[in-house]
Amino acid sequence: MDLDVLGVLLLGAGPVALVVRRRYPATVLGVVLATTLGYTLLDYPRGPIFLALIVAFVTAVMKGRRVEALVALALGYVGFLWAGYLLGVEPAPSLGEALGLGAWLLLLFAVSEIARARRERAIELARTREAEAKRRAGEERLRIARELHDVLAHNISLINVQAGTALHLLDEHPEQARPSLAAIRQASNEALAELRSVLDILREGQESVPRSPTSRLAHVDDLIAKTEAAGAHVTMRIEGDARPLAPGVDLAAFRVVQEALTNVTKHARDARVAVEISYEDRELTVQIDDDGVGAPVGAPSGGGRGISGMRERAAALGGELEAGPRPGGGFRVRARFPVKPEGAGRP
């Protein structure tokens, strides 16, 4: 049959429908299949109409509409054979040609399915990478918040205590306010120095744990002196042989002592405090006991980074931290960190 108006419409309907194939893959496949079968059954001259059907079929598979694609494949195959064998529209294909066409259609489906699976894996991989990037960004924000809390909370608490003392003494005993004002100046200078240290490391993009020269267990005496200046009575005992520790463990243990003494300054400034540091072969234990009320377990400190921040530090290093009231009164903070045995790694 020569190409007439209906033939032109059928020939053009398929390519036009392909414009929206990504949005409506199954519908477009049905439209293109119908126009292709109609064109074939009406015995119009062979043309590029089958290309539109292939594109619609592949798109449906890529969009996950596999059932619809298989149904369309079966209908198209049966329709083509029907046109040849029963209607005589086209020369009836031989058995080999019919089997070859079926194999070609199945191969087309398999290739489309493989492409779809690869595409979905690529999308899933991109989502996983994005989720991992968000997780790392969240962890980095927590790390920064923890570091800023640690370097500021202790000194700010001391400044608050000493400022209150200075205000109390300033009117009647101004000469006695001088030590408190000097302590405020020292604490503020130390806070600024530690803050600069953290910001410098963050600015350089280093992944290592920020450290300042005084953020080590060897300088716990400085923390004790400042806590005693705020009114507490602190004793310290070291068990075992003190030795160099991994930087992360050294800093984390120091921060635990710092946070515990900060809570004493805030909640029980006149308390008696016992700091105990125990060096064992494979474990470092830090324990701080006081006879005051301490900080309520789970209560936020310094913007929510107090006890929870200590637990995060310990857990990140494979250790654990316990904080809560002591039997008989007072408050206890106890942290344990795994360490390498003394002499490990030496030749």
Q: Where are the beta strands (DSSP E) in the chain?
A: 233-239, 272-279, 283-290, 320-325, 331-338
Q: How far is 305 from 297, CA to CA, in rounded Å?
A: 13
Question: How many angstroms separate the Cα of 28 from the Cα of each of 54, 59, 66, 215, 305?
Answer: 12, 9, 14, 68, 57
pLDDT in tens, 222-257: 889 888 887 889 999 999 988 888 888 998 899 899
Distance CA 232, CA 251 (A): 23
At residue 333, does pLDDT exceed 90? yes
pTM over 0.85: no
Distances from the Cα of 178 to the Cα of 154, 227, 244, angstroms: 21, 17, 38
Residue 50: how many other CB atoms lie within 10 Å: 16
CA–CA separation, 294 and 307 (whole Å): 11
Domains and CATH numbers, the chain: 5-130 (no CATH), 133-338 (3.30.565.10)
Average pLDDT, the chain: 80
* 166's tokens: 């200075």
Query: What is the C-alpha separation between 139 and 151, in angstroms, rounded?
Result: 18
| Nearest residue to 340 via CA among 275, 213, 220, 250 | 250
Rounded mean pLDDT, 163-180: 78
Q: Which two tokens stand for residue 313?
A: 């530090």
- Whether 223 contacts 236, CB under 8 Å: no
Q: What is the pLDDT of residues 42-88, one digit of tens each?
A: 777 776 778 888 888 888 888 888 888 888 888 888 877 776 666 65
Give the dihedral sign, CA 279/285/290/295: positive
Q: Which of 52-66, 129-143, 200-214 has the lowest mean pLDDT?
A: 200-214
